[in-house]
Amino acid sequence: MNIPQHNTRIVKQTAQELGFSYCGIAKAEKLEEDARRLEAWLQQGMHGNMQYMENHFELRIDPRKLVPGAKSVITVLQNYFPDQSQSQDTPHIAKYAFGKDYHEVIRYKLKTFLAILNQNIGEIHGRGFVDSAPVLERTWAVKSGAGWVGKNGNLITKHSGSFYFIATLIVDIELVYDDPFAKDFCGSCRKCVEACPTDAIHENKVVDGSKCISYFTIELKEAMIPAEMKGKFNNWLLGCDVCQDVCPWNRFSQPHTETAFTPIPEILNLSTKEWEDMSEEAFINIFKHSPLKRSKYAGIQRNLKFIGNME
């Protein structure tokens, strides 16, 4: 029996059974090119106040430092494209935050994934990551054949667009590695660059995180959003989907089937006034399992005031 081939079949079958949309595998190795690119991005201050991006540099570029003895990086994608839209007059919230916090949902799946592999393959040491540790998920997704990184910095898949969460499982067993996705299908299209309300998308797939609406509405913990951003938020209360909504590849997006991502009714329907009148107690109760809790009640109220005084 070809052990790596046999184990790879188990890995991919398990990913499918757990509801992941894609599973690919790459060899665990140091990401030399990404190290140079990340260092330049940080030196230009494009991470804004996200100081954590400066931490654990060596861990970000080498999975073997995250998981001693690591041989394989398994990448899985979880579709989150909703089949429902927000009412026109409600403040905009990025689609990824419509339902339950993806960290909770996918972290549980990754733990289950590793447990099943241990049962069916033998003792495996590994760790699962979903936007929660210094892992360059998009690079590993490309290396595992999932798709390419677009001009907007998002992973784009050829058959179903970019509304995906990316998660990685780093393990200490050798598997059969997929071919990297070698082509960039963005071509000369610049729709995302031209549509970005804050001009955060630069040439050569460089996104200035310190200018992104998602940064201001989620990551920025200051009491005030910089005045120079006035009039540029287009009613985005949390996150921003503009660069994905205009991407031609997302015409192929299909609604997800993950019940945990079923939209919270308040997100779809609340008017600006209803958001403004919401008490902190109600916010905590409604959004206790939602990504909105990351911005906290105070952050949401700050964002509301900012987009409400844009004239």
| Domain segments of the chain as ranges | 1-178+189-311
pLDDT at 65: 85
pLDDT at 219: 86
Q: For the chain, how far is it from start to end, CA to CA, in angstroms? A: 69
pLDDT at 310: 43
pTM: 0.91
pLDDT at 131: 81
pLDDT at 311: 39
Long-range Cβ pairs for the range 293-298 (8 Å, 24+) = 293/101, 294/218, 295/217, 295/218, 295/238
Residues of the chain scoring pLDDT < 70: 1-2, 32-60, 132-135, 309-311
Largest CA distance in the chain: 69
Establish whether 131 is a catalytic residue.
yes
pLDDT at 63: 87
- Work out the number of other CB atoms within 10 angstroms of the CB of residue 116: 17
Beta partners for residue 74, in sequence order: 25, 169
Q: What is the pLDDT of residues 25-45, one digit of tens each?
A: 999 998 866 655 655 555 655
Backbone dihedral angles phi then psi of residue 168, each to the nearest 5 degrees: -130, 145
pLDDT at 26: 97
Helix pair angle (3-17, 102-120), 10° resolution:
140
Q: Given strand 164-171, what is the order of strands in its sheet?
A: 22-27, 72-79, 164-171, 126-129
Task: Return the amino acid letter for 309.
Answer: N
pLDDT at 185: 97
Of 89, 101, 131, 179, the active-site residue reads 131
Q: What is the pLDDT of residues 97-145, one digit of tens each?
A: 999 999 999 999 999 999 999 999 999 999 999 986 656 899 999 999 9
pLDDT at 53: 46
Give the C-alpha separation, 137 to 144, whole Å: 10
Distances, alpha carbon 208 to alpha carbons 43, 201, 289, 291, in Å: 12, 6, 29, 22
